[in-house]
Amino acid sequence: MVRFEHAGDDATAGDHPLLSADVLVVGGGPAGTWAAIKAAQAGADVVLVDKGRCGSSGATASVGTGIWYVEDEAELREAAMASREALGGHLADRDWMAPVLDETCARMDELARVQRYPFPVDAHGRQIRDDLQGPEYMRRQRTCVQRLGVRILDHTPALELLADADRVVSGARVLDRLTGQMLSIAAGAVVLAAGGCAFQSKTLGCDVNTGDGALLAVEAGAELSGMEFSSAYAIAPMGTSLEDGPAPVVLAGSDTAASADMKAASSAPRVRSCSPGRTRRRARGPRPRPSPAAPA
């Protein structure tokens, strides 16, 4: 059960109303909603705060999402992991890949059974689970979170983490943008699920992805790892030089490039998201294919 108290004027909470719960989830995209669902199913009191609106904001809510869904068959799993190893320059760690594949299968099963997500079916009637429509997916996630009794605070960004005297994170200070009031939320556990950083590209729901979770964590003393693998996206109109053949490399890391891209895309009938890697590959042109006439 969620409890409201007045926090008093102490160093931790400040002079704000205090909300307390077992688990505070910061962010209401796929990561945050699954965290809230699992915590609530385990019996915890959960509060979820979102800077935008849980179910409509973030990178998934406005796009189709490709899912790394691989049936639990040894041969298929082996091939899937091997393909990703090459893609990742053989830096990938199978100790992480295997649990990701397990978790993905389990969550997609749950999405089909509990949230009743309408996966399309193939010619044999088998559900095709390697793609999700973001708006439909996230609408169902929000409903599921609400049904489990999680208290959702929309338009309420977390601004800083609270820590106790031993520097253990004990909650967060948030801003209710509808009333302009600051709130302190005390929690036994805080899950940071505020998405990535889109470097102000504003691409496809990424207006809210300003790296807040990483910043909050660093401010609380966490160390980040793997940041050199961060990627940025831009969108480009299909059928233009950005889509096929030699093209300039467009990075969403700069406001100018991304907004120019967005303006071009808004008048185009179809757009596709491009990562810098994909754009660079396109800029180099198609991969050479072995010619049948060439000697082996």
Ligand X SMILES: Cc1cc2nc3c(=O)[nH]c(=O)nc-3n(C[C@H](O)[C@H](O)[C@H](O)COP(=O)(O)OP(=O)(O)OC[C@H]3O[C@@H](n4cnc5c(N)ncnc54)[C@H](O)[C@@H]3O)c2cc1C
Contact footprint for ligand X (CB under 6 A)? 26-32, 49-52, 57-60, 63, 65-66, 157-158, 193-196, 203-204, 206, 208-209, 212, 233, 273
CB of 48 to ligand X, least distance (A): 9
d(CA 49, CA 32): 9
CB of 120 to ligand X, least distance (A): 16
Task: Work out how close the CB of 270 gets to ligand X at its nearest, in angstroms, rounded to a whole number.
Answer: 14
C-beta separation of 157 from 175 below 8 A:
yes
Quick one: 45 or 212, whose CB is closer to ligand X?
212
Cβ at position 203, least distance to ligand X in Å: 6
- Nearer Cβ to ligand X, position 183 or 194? 194
Q: How far is the CB of 183 from ligand X (least distance, A)?
A: 12
Which CB atom, from 83 or from 285, has the smaller least distance to ligand X? Answer: 83
196 vs 253 by CB, closer to ligand X: 196
In the complex with ligand X, the residue whose CB is nearer, 31 or 190, is 31
Q: In the complex with ligand X, which residue's Cβ is closer, 117 or 233?
A: 233
104 or 127: CB nearest ligand X: 104
Q: How far is the CB of 126 from ligand X (least distance, A)?
A: 21
Q: Which residue is nearest to ligand X (CB)?
A: 29
In angstroms, what is the minimal distance from the CB of 154 to ligand X?
9
Please tell me the distance from the alpha carbon of residue 71 to that of residue 91, in angstroms, as a whole number.
Answer: 24
